[in-house]
Every structure is written in C-alpha cells, then in structure tokens.
Structure 1
Amino acid sequence: MVSAMLSRVKIKKFLYLKDIELELDRGLNVFTGETGVGKSLIVDAISFVLGKKGKYSDGDYVELEFEGAESDYAEEGLLILAREVRNGKNLYFINGRRATLSALVEASKGIISIHGQNQQQTLFDQKKHLQLLDAYSKNEKLLGEYRTLYKQLKKIQEQEKQIKQEQANRLRELDILRYQLEELKSAQLKKGEKEELEERYRYLTGIGEIKEAVYEAVNEISEGEGSVLEKLGYTIKRLEKVSDYSDRIKEALSALEEARSIIQDSYYSLEKIDLDVDTGELSMIEERLNLINRLELKYSTDLDGLIQLIDQFEERIEYLEGLEYRLPQLEEEKKQLLDKLQKLASQLSERRRINALKLAREVETHIKQLAMPEARFVVSVEETELSQDGKDRVVFLFSANKGFEPVPVDEAASGGEISRLSLALKLVVGSDVSCMIFDEIDTGIGGKTATFMAEKLKRLSEKYQVILITHLPQVAAYADRHFYIEKIYTEGSTEAVVKQVEGEERIREIARMLSGSIDEKTLQLARQMLDNALSVS
C-alpha cells in the first residue's frame, strides 16, 4: 500500500552528523544506539529539512529523497527536498532548484509526518478528530452529497443578503437608471458617428480655404487662359505630326495622352465638389459633438461604451424590477435545501455516533496493550449548528490513569502517551501520509507490552513506511532495516556514525539492548528474538 517512500537521507553536515547517507526500506526502519548517543538527531535532521525552527550552524545541509511521490512538485515520481544554512540564511531546495519554505512544506504534504514527544501533534487539532471519525465511518460519499448542497445553501444566502441590501436603495437606483437610460436613448447614438462628425467639422471649418484652392485649381487646369489642358492639348497635336518618325516620340505621346485623361478626370472631380454649405450645419455639428463629449465625460467611457451602457442599464432595471419576486423564490429554495441538509446531517450524525463507540473501543484495546491498562478513550459527538461538515462537533477525550475522567487529548496526554494514542488511531483508521516517523514512542515500555508495541508497529509498516527511534530490542527485532548510531570522540571534536547492521552485527546490537552487555546468553536470546519476529511477520 506504500506509495511514496523516503528512500534516502543524505546529511553533509548537521550538528555532529557528517557525511552520512542512509538507504531506507519500504517497511519498518529502526535506529538504535547507546543512551545519550543522540539517536533523535536523525529525526531532528529530517525535521530540519521540513522547516523546523532552531539554532543551526553555517554549512548544515540535509537532503531527503522520496520515490513514488505523487506531488505536483515530483519529477517522474522523484522528489528531493533539501535545506542548507549558508551565511546565516536558510536556503530551501526542491529537486535541486531554489524554493520557498511554504512550497517545500506543500510538496511534502500527504507524504511524511513526524510523531515525537516534542513534535506538534495533529491530534491536538480538534478539526482532525471529525475527519478521523468520518474516515473510520466511511462517510466520504454521504459527506460529499451534503457539502454539495451546503455550498448551494451558502450561495443562496449570499444572494439573499445582496438582494436585501439592494432593496434598501432599489427605488432610488431605479429612478436614476431610468433617467440615465432615457438620456442615452434620446441621444440616438450611432456607432462610428463621432468620427464622421469630427471629419465633417474639420471640412466645414476649412471651407473658405477649400473654396479658394478648388477655384484656383479648376481655373489653372481648364478654364483660365493658358490652362494646363490647353497647353497639354497643343503639345500633343505637335507631337502627333512627327510621331511616325520615332518610336520614342510615340511612347512619349501615349504618356501625355494618358496624363491628359487623368488631369481631365481630376478636373471633373473638382467640379463636382459641393462648395455651397448650409451656414447652420456647423453649429448643428458642434452641438452634436458637445452632447457626445458631455455624455462620454459623465459616464467615463467612449461612444461605443455609451451604446453598451444602454443594454446594461436595461438589464439592471429588469433585474431590480424583479427583485420583489426573487426574494420569495430564494426563500422557498432555501427552505427546500435546509430540509435536505437536515436529513443528510441527521444521517451523518447517526453514523458518527454509532461508529464513535466502535472507534473508541478499538483504539482503547490497542492503547491498553501499550502500557496504559487503565487508559480510557472516548469519542465525543455533540450537536451544533449546521456547518460544511454537518451538525456535529467531535472531540477525542483521553485519560491515561484510573480515577481521572477523560478530557480533551491536548489537556491530558503526555508526549509518550500521545504518540502511542496516535499509533493506535493509525492502526484503526489508517493514515493520510505514506511515511511516518516515531521518535522513542516506546519510552517507559518493557516486557510483554514491548512485544505488543513491536507487533503493532510491524503491522503498521505493512501498509505504510515507518521510521522509528527505539530503545526496545523487541521492536528492533521486527525491523526490515536496522541502523546503529554510535558517537565517536576525537581530540577536540565529536562525531556520530550511522551504519546499517545485519547478520551477526545486528544480533550483537540486539544482545546489547537486552542487558547492556554482550555474552553468550544475551546473544542466544537475541537470535531467538529475531527468529520469533521473523516467524510472526
């Protein structure tokens, strides 16, 4: 079932971890070592990449490589997240390219989560309690139907609110719109009208100069003594007499005849120009342009915009006139929706209440086996007003000790207890991430309880990737991959070495975990423990 997995952790430098590269397994990965060696540094290094705040040093660099990632940031399933401290600044990288912290956090969503005694627990967020109960109750389809209708309800409520606000000013707005519509309609505006008027206006204002130029041109071309056409006609006649002597003269003669035809056409065009102007036309055009300019200024748009406003005003008037009928329609639609929502919310509530008892019993069974025999776990379901999730408020209540009433988990559970509760919930409900990291979840556990813990973690690792810091040999024996952390002191410095242990080396480490010393008896017990774990898994 594991999709994305943390396949590699590469640490160039992080506190006293240097030049470490770890290849992880899809199943259960455990880290062990002597007390005080700093086993949790591995978890801290991973948390560092995911944005955890803290005092870090220049040169700190950690890289996490995920395989099978379905994130939008992944490239062919490969997602590499990294963080570096350089010159006192934090630099984040996604697949080798600079990124923001928010982008990196977004890229890791649905892939990895950390559960430790000092980590922020999602169980403290009561919104998650309802989500977990719904997941356990398999309410996805029913909740989807409910939310679709709830969105429709919110939309209708927004429309109601808008209509009620508009109704307060409805009559006043209608008066203004009707006046403005009449003003624009009475102007009888036409597309392209302004350009035509401006062109005619320029013509009329220059009519005196135009007349003078046209009369002079007509006179020069044809009517005056020695006109262009007269001289050109004389020249053509002279050349016609000698054209047979030369082809070039013929060519020139042909061009001149063509020129005479063109000039004659120009003369006829000038003759047809109407130079008799109505003295009142200019003032009419000025009045029309002033009207258009005034309307453009008033409505802050051009002529095309004014024409569009007519349609917009008509639509708005029709809408406002229909408001008094629209509100009752919305009220009826809202009533029908509320009836449907109440029925669906009641169905959700019934399912939640039934499954709340089942979930509590299953989780309680697990946590009682994890060194909390007197623990009580309650899933409280209380009715509230309708919301996008129905009409229920769900809160997880917990008590670790006898004689104490269950209270919300963020008020009752210690770090170790909340980690075990989280493990129990993941075993019962499942997880929304594919890689889970637990930091010393087994603190304070031993004996038979340790075996229960180991079996539960192994069971979880069959569906998800599990990475675990542990001091329990029972848990280490179930590991698919076992890493040993050792602190080495040299003159003036401290370094940690992390290596994968297998075969005899792994047997010796589990023997050490059993009693603190290694002898034939503990070695034999370690072998037996590994054989038992292998037979169970």
Structure 2
Amino acid sequence: MLESLRIKDFAIIKEMALEFNQGMTVLTGETGAGKSIIIDAVGLLAGGRGSTEFVRYGKKKCVLEGQFTYSPTAALTRLFKQYEIEEADQTLLIQREIFASGRNVCRVNGSIVTIAALKEMGSHLIDIHGQNEHQELMVTDNHIHLLDQYGSEELALKKAAYQKVYREYRELVKERKNWQFNEQELAQRLDILEYQVEEIKEAQLQPNEEEELLEEEKLLANYQSIVEALSASYKALQGEEISGGLDLVGEAMEQMESIEDMDGKFKDVSEHLSSTFFQLQEIASAIYNELDQLEYDEERLNEIEERLNLIQQLKRKYGHSVEAILTHYEQAEAELNQLSNREEQVDYLSKRIKDRKEEALLLAEELTELRRQTAHQLQRSILDQLKELYMEKVTFSVVFNQASELNENGQDKVEFFVATNPGEPLKPLARVASGGELSRMMLAMKTIFSQSQGITSIIFDEVDTGVSGRVAQAIADKIHSVAVHSQVLCITHLPQVAAMADQHLYIMKKIENDRTRTLVEIITGRERTEEVARMLSGEELTQLTIETAEELLKIAEQKKERRKA
C-alpha cells in the first residue's frame, strides 16, 4: 500500500506531504483544485509517462517521493534481483525527479533505475483506473490472464506445465529452422566451409608460431649489427692486439692480492675484484660462443618472410591471431561435418518437435477444460456483483475461440462479452458504450479480481461519473468492498462515495503572491459533514443538507461496522 507521498514543485503544487491509511481514502474538493494532479503524481511513481509540463513554472525540477509497503511475491522478488534493488523490510521508497530540461531520474530504495523498470515494478503496486482509462480490464489480450488469475491452483500448475513444454517445442522449431537451407544455400555454404577448412589445414599452423618466426626474423634481419656488437664486445674484453679489459682487470686483481693481508678493507676489495674478473671471463666466453654459432642464412630469412605473409593473409580472413585461426578451423570443420549429416539432424529434430507438440496439445486441451470450468464460476461471480450494482439484467459471458496456433497461453483466445439490456446480443466488453455502465462493469470485475491480482493500491479517478441515486450508493458500497482487500484511493464527486471513506482528504486552491497552489487537509467531524453536505447541494449549506449529510455518514458507518462483523 501507499503509506506516504511527498510532492514538490509539481504543476500547481508547491510542496505537499500526505500520509495514507489502509482501507478507503477519498479525495474531494472543487473542480481544478488539483485532485487529479495528486493521482498523476502517484502514477508517475508507478512509471507513468513524464512531461516537462509537470514542473512548476519557474522551477528547475519537480520531486516526487512515495513510500510503499508490499507483500513479497515471486514476480517482485525477480524484479528486485534483476534491477539490483535492495529489499528493506517489505518497504519500497520510490523517488522521481523530472527536470525542466526533460531529464528524468528514478530511484527505488536508493538505486537508480530506468523508467521502464519503474513501470514494471509499479504494475505490481498500483492499479489506476480513470474515467476513460480502465487499463487491463479493457485490454482484450489481458482477459485470458485475468481468467487464469481467478482460477484454481490446479489451473496455475497446469499452465506452468504447458508453458514449460511449449517453450521446449519453440526452441526445437527454432533449432530445426537453423538447419533448413534450400539446396542452393546449402551448396554455397558447403563450398565455403570446405574451402576454409582446406586452406587452414594446408597451412599447418602451430600455436605460438608467429611469435617464434618474428623473433627469428629479427635476428636474421639484424645479423650484421649483431656480429659487429658481439665482436667489439669480445675485443674489448679479451682483444689480442691491445690489452683487453680482462688483462687490465687481472693486473688490478694481482696488485690487490699483494696487499690484501695488510688491511681488512684491502682484502674485501681484492675479493670483489677477483669475483668480477671470473664473471667477466664467463661473459667473454659466452660472447665468443655466440659469435661462433652465429650464421647468416638468407634463404631461411626468405622462408620466414613468406610464412609470415601467409599467416597475415589468414589472419585477415579468419581471426586476429594464429590461435583465433585455429579456433575458426575447428568451428568450420564441426559445421561442415554437421551439414554433411544435415538430413539426419533435421529428421531427429522433426521427431522431437512432433513429440513435444503432441504433448503441448494434450496439456493445452486440459488447460482449456480447466479454463472453461473457471469461466463458469467467474460468470456467476460477476453477475452476482452486477446485481448489487443494479445491473441484474446484464448478461456477462467469457467467450472462447481457438487460436490459429499454439502460443504461450495455450490454444485459447479469451474475451469478455456483455449485453447490457435484455434482447441485445453479447458484445465485447471493450466496446460497451455507456460510461455509467462501463464504470459499474469495471467495479464488479475489480471486486472479483482485486484479491487475485495482489496489487496493494487501487486508484479510482472519477470512475463514478454518470451515475446517481441508488446506483451511486451501490458504487460506494462496492468501492469500499474492494478496500477490504486492497488500499483504495478514490477521487469522487458523489456524496455517497465520500461518506463510505475511512479517510477523507479535502483538496483546495489558494493564491499566494499571485501564484496558485494546492493544499490538502484531512477532514473529520463537522468539517467532513459540511463537505458531504456541499457535495449534496452545492456551496449553499442548509440545515436540511447538514442533516442529510449526517444521516448519510451514519448509514455509511453502520454498513462498515456490519462488514467488519
């Protein structure tokens, strides 16, 4: 349920903070005071479409904040996990900022989410019904889901079993389609794969080959520079024509050895010098060996360059490295083998598809039978509700048609049909003409579905338009009956509806510094009686209208007490 709502710089609302109770809350007040604006704010918190026009004139942004409590469901848990929302004691804090620039920022429990994500979560929290917006009840495609929600656990389990088999069937169909080429496509694909496999196979590539070839090429290409550097290094260490470095170090070593016994410091120097001399000897020997083994092979250099050119050509076609080329080779070879045995694979998949479709059809037929049983129960329940709304002559029917092919819901197309007057044919619910009849139809269904939908807050925005008298009282009773299972917020102009409320909010306009702003106050006692009286007779209050309002409120309280009992 919606526990609290904070609004700042939204349309004509400068700043407002509201707290809501469980049960039925009505919002009343003069036309244009901002009642629907408050509902718009709640709708935006549920992911409704925002607009820069919502930002109060002269402000950079508007801020909306709502705190909701909810009962954990599998759907909500999945969404929280999907959008990485932290769960906090079955409470959701939803915040939305709409900037004058058009930017929107949405947060749920502090985590930034997209408007699409907010809308998905909001659909499990709030159900808004306007005078001309009956949402899912008026969308034909939703009727089958509403029927299933009304159904038993057996129906839910059967539907889950069917959907599992149906998804397996669709995956198999998709897989077979990937195998089905026409003859020309198949021949072309086989030619391509055969060429690729043969080309890569003939190259006989080895892992890390390119790196090794590049290293060898570098040595051969720089042969002359390497020889000169090694020769000069060796000559500097152990040259024969002039005294090399080793001779000079050796002489120094001998001189230090002659005095090392005279002082400990001399001995340390002598030992270090001796170690250096032998290390230099090893280095000179290593350089000599490198010179001795070094050999320039121009033919080998040409071979390496040709090999590297081949690898580059293959990389341009099949991957950025030798390893990627070899991976492509394995994949192409595997696909070639599969396509060569294509008919066997297609036959195998066709058999599995046939088995899964037969299983899905059997489950779909069982699902249809359960739905038809549920439909009979739903029809009786709806008609019972309509009688209480003085629509006892209305006929309601759940009409079944067979879908052209199996789908996620089975083989059924379900649509709600009504006939509002005796002798008239049944017509689709979505095309019922009278606004008053449509309001009552919606209320009857909402009463039936409110428990099964699991939505915590239901908003009725002037759905009682076009009715009066005993029908108005029946609608008031029905809205309150919905509030037994879900929190209800209701904008109304009917005193009968206002009298049934558990909480009454009065919306008013006030002009401050030449600017209009909306104010809200909770009214009780005498104030509430006077507001109901105004709804009965207009601005002029008389003793009679006050007494009528008191009587209306008294009767409403008695009804609510009886309902509690």
* Residue 497 (structure 2) pairs with residue 475 (structure 1): yes
Q: Which amino acid aligns with 2:446?
A: K
Structure 1 gaps, min length 5: none
- 1:200 Cα deviation after fit: 2.6
Structure 1 match to 2:444 = 424
Q: Output one character per residue of 1:370-422: Cα deviation in whole Å (capped at 9) or x when no partner.
A: 24343222211111121111111111122323332221122223333222212
Structure 2 match to 1:43 = 36
Identity in percent: 31
Structure 2 match to 1:7 = 4
C-alpha separation in 2, matches of 1:360 and 1:409: 13
1:371/1:445 contact within 8 Å kept? no
Equivalences for residues 297-376 of structure 1 within 5 A: 297-376=316-395
* 1:267–1:22 CA distance, 2 compared to 1 (3 A): closer
- 1:468 Cα deviation after fit: 1.9
Scaled by the length of structure 1, the TM-score of the pair is: 0.84
Partner secondary structure for residue 169 of structure 1? helix
- 1:249 Cα deviation after fit: 5.0
Equivalences for residues 118-133 of structure 1 within 5 A: 118-119=132-133, 121-133=135-147
C-alpha separation in 1, matches of 2:259 and 2:514: 120
2:138/2:429 contact within 8 Å kept? yes
2:134/2:442 contact within 8 Å kept? no
- 1:319 Cα deviation after fit: 2.5
Q: Which amino acid aligns with 2:127?
A: S
Equivalences for residues 250-269 of structure 1 within 5 A: 250-269=267-286
Bigger shift: 142-151 or 286-295? 286-295
Which of 526, 543, 556 is residue 518 of structure 1 equivalent to?
Answer: 543
Structure 2 gaps, min length 5: none
1:31/1:482 contact within 8 Å kept? yes
Structure 2 match to 1:140 = 156
1:81/1:104 contact within 8 Å kept? no
- 1:326 Cα deviation after fit: 0.6
* 1:93–1:277 CA distance, 2 compared to 1 (3 A): closer
Partner secondary structure for residue 118 of structure 1? coil
C-alpha separation in 2, matches of 1:381 and 1:279: 86
Structure 2 match to 1:535 = 561
C-alpha separation in 2, matches of 1:352 and 1:407: 21
Q: Which amino acid aligns with 1:483?
A: L
Which of 304, 326, 347 is residue 285 of structure 1 equivalent to?
Answer: 304
Structure 2 match to 1:410 = 430
Q: Output one character per residue of 1:11-30: Cα deviation in whole Å (capped at 9) or x when no partner.
A: 76644x66554432210112
1:43/1:437 contact within 8 Å kept? no
- 1:142 Cα deviation after fit: 1.5
Partner secondary structure for residue 191 of structure 1? coil
Structure 1 match to 2:288 = 271
Structure 2 match to 1:66 = 67
* 1:408–1:198 CA distance, 2 compared to 1 (3 A): same
* 1:261–1:499 CA distance, 2 compared to 1 (3 A): closer
Runs of at least 4 residues off by over 6 Å: 52-55, 95-100, 487-496
- 1:246 Cα deviation after fit: 5.3
Q: Which amino acid aligns with 2:413?
A: R
C-alpha separation in 1, matches of 2:507 and 2:488: 18
* 1:220–1:327 CA distance, 2 compared to 1 (3 A): same
Larger-gyration structure (1/2):
1
C-alpha separation in 2, matches of 1:296 and 1:197: 15
2:390/2:474 contact within 8 Å kept? no
1:511/1:526 contact within 8 Å kept? no
C-alpha separation in 1, matches of 2:512 and 2:288: 112
- 1:214 Cα deviation after fit: 4.5
Structure 2 match to 1:27 = 23
- 1:322 Cα deviation after fit: 3.0
RMSD over aligned CA atoms reads 3.8
- 1:7 Cα deviation after fit: 3.4
